[in-house]
């Protein structure tokens, strides 16, 4: 006898199934139509790179969950639910094809494999749901926001799978299925129930429970576009529309080069609207957010939830500033992008902040501190046009001074850098650019002023095309390397840690003294997260005599932002973040903190004075290790 089973066994009336199918499909179709129409009302925006590459990247992320989900337990949990549910849906489709089209799909070895696969899939879903419940309601991490809707969906999914196993077990009892062993879970249930439930009672219970199981399953389908389940569509779509991480370092403005601003939902791109629905409110963006950790009750998750709420209410003309993101949070963001790095759905939150800032500036509603920053920049530009200096064309290497201020010590860093280059036998020339690099100006939302800075500086730098420019400022490094090429310029840009590490490796430089110091290294956001440079500073530290390097818990890509730089103009969050970073360093047993950024060095030094005025923790630039 060929292995098989009767489809719809013990269910005489198919009307309930047809009605449930019709209602579920109608709800699914209407819901998807509503959501897709809302997404399509956004502006088209710019293409985010090669379509094929984006599609491959999105499919790869969805298939493996690698890069999306952090933590072994969470990865297992998501894979169990995702693949288990996918297999159960596929099994239901096979049954439907056989039932409605008369296809003989479930026969012989295929049927036996089908039975075993669905049992394994059901167990996987239950394991994943159990891990999710444990995480949400037992571990209860502070970042995670749980609502009644989350619990409802989790319970619905669990009960749907359990009821399916129970229906299967009752059928096995009633039919004495000779292939029951190929349904191990259903067979175990049949063995347990068989002692108290006879064949006749099993047949009656099977029919009653089958209706409940079908109702649960089709309710989940009907709820798909109206609940958090929508992220199963929105996340893949958002990943497809996202700019690859490697290209994001240059995107503090629209990739098409426009100066468009985002003031309301009506100004948002399709990608931004999809992103709001893709957010699963996991709270990972809270963990290292400089705004949230600095004491302001805001994180990118807040912005996503507010955007989703406005969109679904159809309130397309409500201002984003003050509604989606508070004024305090808007101008406190450092652009560190820890939120984007940790977001499982490829969110581009820091870019949204810049968009909204651009909208505020376009309406003339920027804070006084921001206006003062712009005025200072414009004044410097006017002065530079009268001064018109020209770079020395005969130097071996050129130093972009970055954000110099004698009071904060950056002059000392530049002086030390010149000394080291001279020791290495190189002729170095300090550039006198007509304007600041403009990176901070761009992140504050003044795109037109940034372009004036870039054009003026590139005109000045044309005289040294093909040469190497070194800077001690990661912000200038990121701007010159990743953002200026769109406007012209042909030169090599290096952070001073990269350049000095190369000189040390070539034997041209070495440590001049023994520090006998236990220190930790603080990764600057614009050097590490933006540009993946983690090794050069550590190589320099390793080459210094007597320094024992301790790594903080939050290091490299997971570095904790110092709270300064990147566009923030408030002091509300800077010192709290700096003080927390110092506590992390002290906890590891560090006697000093080494960094490679003037913003980080200045803010951490201020925090060190706040933490211990009598004996503040030393804050060193990596260049000081070789002097």
- Token readout for 3 is 């292995």
Torsion of CA 193, 198, 203, 208, to 10 degrees: -50
The answer to whether residue 385 sits within a structural domain is no
| Vertex 239 angle, CA 31 and 307, to 5° | 55
Q: Are residues 87 and 119 in the same domain?
A: yes
The answer to whether residue 7 sits within a structural domain is no
Instruction: Read off the CATH number of the domain in which 192 is found.
Output: 1.20.950
The answer to whether residue 52 sits within a structural domain is yes
Helix, strand, coil percentages in the chain from 3-state DSSP, rounded to 5: 60, 5, 35
Asked which of 502, 520, 542 is the last residue of a domain, the reply is 502
Q: Are residues 485 and 528 in the same domain?
A: no
Instruction: Read off the CATH number of the domain in which 556 is found.
Output: 3.40.50
Q: How far apart are CA 430 and CA 496, in angstroms?
A: 13
Please count the helices (runs of H) and the strands (runs of E) in the chain: 24, 8
β-strands 592-595, 545-550 pairing = unpaired
Under 8 Å between Cβ of 241 and 212: no
Domain count across the chain:
4
User: What pLDDT, on a 0 to 100 scale, did the predictor assign at position 246?
Assistant: 61
Under 8 Å between Cβ of 292 and 323: no
pLDDT in tens, 108-133: 999 999 999 999 999 999 999 999 99
The answer to whether residue 172 sits within a structural domain is yes
Q: Are residues 482 and 520 in the same domain?
A: no
Q: How far apart are CA 359 and CA 369, in angstroms?
A: 17
Q: Are residues 32 and 156 in the same domain?
A: yes
Q: How far apart are CA 600 and CA 205, in angstroms?
A: 68
Q: Write b or e for each residue in 245-260: b if 16 or more Cβ atoms lie within 10 A of its Cβ, otherwise e.
A: beebbbbbbbbeeeeb
- Starting at the edge strand found earlier in the chain, the sheet holding 397-399 runs 428-430, 397-399, 468-471, 492-495
User: What pLDDT, on a 0 to 100 scale, did the predictor assign at position 243?
Assistant: 75
Q: Are residues 34 and 75 in the same domain?
A: yes
The answer to whether residue 381 sits within a structural domain is no
Domain region containing 471: 391-502
User: Cα separations (Å) of 13 from 211, 222, 570?
Assistant: 11, 22, 69
* Closest listed residue to residue 421, CA positions, set 469, 466, 389, 457: 469
Q: How far apart are CA 77 and CA 85, in angstroms?
A: 12
Q: Are residues 577 and 428 in the same domain?
A: no
Q: Are residues 272 and 355 in the same domain?
A: yes
Angle between helices 300-312 and 349-362 (to 10 degrees): 70
Q: What is the DSSP letter of 493?
A: E
The answer to whether residue 567 sits within a structural domain is yes
CB atoms within 10 A of CB 40: 10
Asked which of 362, 382, 414 is the last residue of a domain, the reply is 362
pLDDT above 70: percentage of residues in the chain: 94
Which residues of the chain are modeled with pLDDT < 50?
Answer: 255-259, 406-409
User: What pLDDT, on a 0 to 100 scale, did the predictor assign at position 257?
Assistant: 47
Q: Are residues 275 and 216 in the same domain?
A: no
3-class state of residue 443 by DSSP: helix
Q: Are residues 264 and 193 in the same domain?
A: no
Q: Are residues 23 and 163 in the same domain?
A: yes
Q: Are residues 216 and 252 in the same domain?
A: no
Instruction: Read off the CATH number of the domain in which 275 is found.
Output: 1.10.1060
User: What pLDDT, on a 0 to 100 scale, did the predictor assign at position 589?
Assistant: 93
Asked which of 188, 204, 235 is the last residue of a domain, the reply is 235
Q: How far apart are CA 382 and CA 379, in angstroms?
A: 5
Q: How far apart are CA 586 and CA 526, in angstroms?
A: 24
The answer to whether residue 261 sits within a structural domain is yes
Q: Are residues 464 and 515 in the same domain?
A: no
β-strands 428-430, 545-550 pairing = unpaired
User: What pLDDT, on a 0 to 100 scale, did the predictor assign at position 482?
Assistant: 92
The answer to whether residue 334 sits within a structural domain is yes
């Amino acid at each position: 006898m060929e292995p098989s089973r009767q489809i719809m066994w013990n269910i005489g009336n198919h009307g309930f199934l047809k009605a449930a199918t019709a209602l579920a499909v109608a709800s699914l179709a209407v819901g998807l139509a509503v959501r897709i129409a809302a997404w399509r009302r956004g502006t088209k925006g710019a293409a985010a790179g090669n379509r094929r590459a984006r599609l491959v990247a999105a499919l790869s992320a969805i298939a493996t969950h690698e890069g999306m989900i952090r933590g072994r337990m969470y990865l297992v949990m998501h894979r169990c639910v995702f693949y288990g549910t996918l297999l159960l849906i596929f099994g239901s489709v096979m049954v439907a094809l056989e039932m409605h089209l008369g296809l003989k799909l479930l026969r012989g070895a295929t049927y036996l494999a089908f039975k075993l696969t669905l049992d394994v899939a059901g167990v996987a879903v239950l394991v994943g749901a159990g891990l999710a419940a444990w995480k949400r309601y037992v571990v209860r991490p502070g970042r995670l926001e749980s609502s009644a809707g989350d619990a409802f969906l989790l319970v619905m999914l669990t009960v749907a799978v359990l009821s399916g196993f129970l229906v299967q077990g009752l059928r096995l009892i009633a039919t004495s299925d000779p292939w029951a062993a190929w349904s191990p879970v259903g067979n175990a249930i049949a063995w347990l129930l068989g002692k108290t439930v006879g064949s006749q009672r099993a047949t009656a219970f099977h029919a009653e429970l089958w209706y409940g199981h079908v109702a649960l399953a089709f309710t989940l389908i009907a709820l798909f576009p109206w609940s958090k389940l929508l992220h199963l569509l929105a996340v893949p779509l958002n990943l497809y529309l996202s700019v690859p991480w490697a290209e994001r370092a240059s995107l503090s403005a629209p990739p098409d080069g426009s100066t468009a601003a985002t003031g309301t939902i009506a100004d948002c791109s399709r990608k931004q609207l999809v992103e709001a629905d893709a957010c699963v409110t996991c709270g990972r963006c809270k963990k290292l957010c400089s705004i949230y950790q600095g004491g302001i009750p805001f994180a990118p998750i807040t912005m996503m939830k507010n955007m989703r709420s406005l969109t679904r209410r159809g309130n397309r003309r409500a201002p984003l500033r003050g509604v989606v993101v508070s004024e305090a949070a808007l101008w406190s963001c450092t652009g560190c992008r820890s939120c984007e790095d940790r977001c499982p759905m490829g969110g581009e939150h820091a870019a949204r902040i810049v968009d909204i800032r651009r909208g505020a500036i376009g309406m003339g509603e920027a804070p006084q501190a921001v206006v003062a920053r712009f005025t200072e920049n414009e004044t410097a530009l006017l002065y530079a046009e009268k001064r018109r200096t020209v770079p020395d064309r005969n130097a071996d290497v050129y130093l972009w001074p970055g954000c110099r201020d004698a009071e904060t010590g950056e002059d000392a860093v530049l002086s030390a850098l010149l000394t080291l280059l001279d020791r290495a036998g190189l002729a170095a020339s300090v550039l006198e650019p007509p304007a600041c690099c403009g990176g901070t100006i761009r992140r504050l939302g003044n795109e037109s002023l940034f372009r004036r800075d870039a054009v003026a500086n590139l005109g000045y730098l044309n005289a040294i095309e093909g040469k190497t420019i070194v800077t001690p400022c990661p912000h200038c490094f990121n701007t010159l390397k990743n953002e200026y090429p769109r406007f012209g310029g042909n030169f090599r840009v290096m952070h001073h840690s990269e350049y000095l590490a190369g000189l040390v490796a070539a034997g041209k430089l070495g440590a001049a003294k023994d520090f006998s110091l236990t220190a930790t290294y603080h990764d600057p956001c614009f050097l590490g997260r933006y540009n993946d440079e983690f090794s050069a500073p550590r190589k320099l530290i390793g080459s210094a005599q007597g320094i024992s390097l301790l790594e903080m818990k939050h290091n490299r890509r997971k570095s904790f932002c110092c709270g300064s730089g990147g566009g923030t103009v408030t002091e509300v969050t800077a010192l709290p973040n700096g003080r927390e970073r110092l506590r992390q360093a002290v906890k590891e047993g560090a006697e000093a903190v080494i960094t490679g950024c003037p913003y980080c060095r200045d803010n951490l030094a201020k925090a060190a004075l706040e933490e211990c005025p009598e004996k503040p923790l030393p804050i060193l630039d990596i260049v000081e290790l070789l002097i």
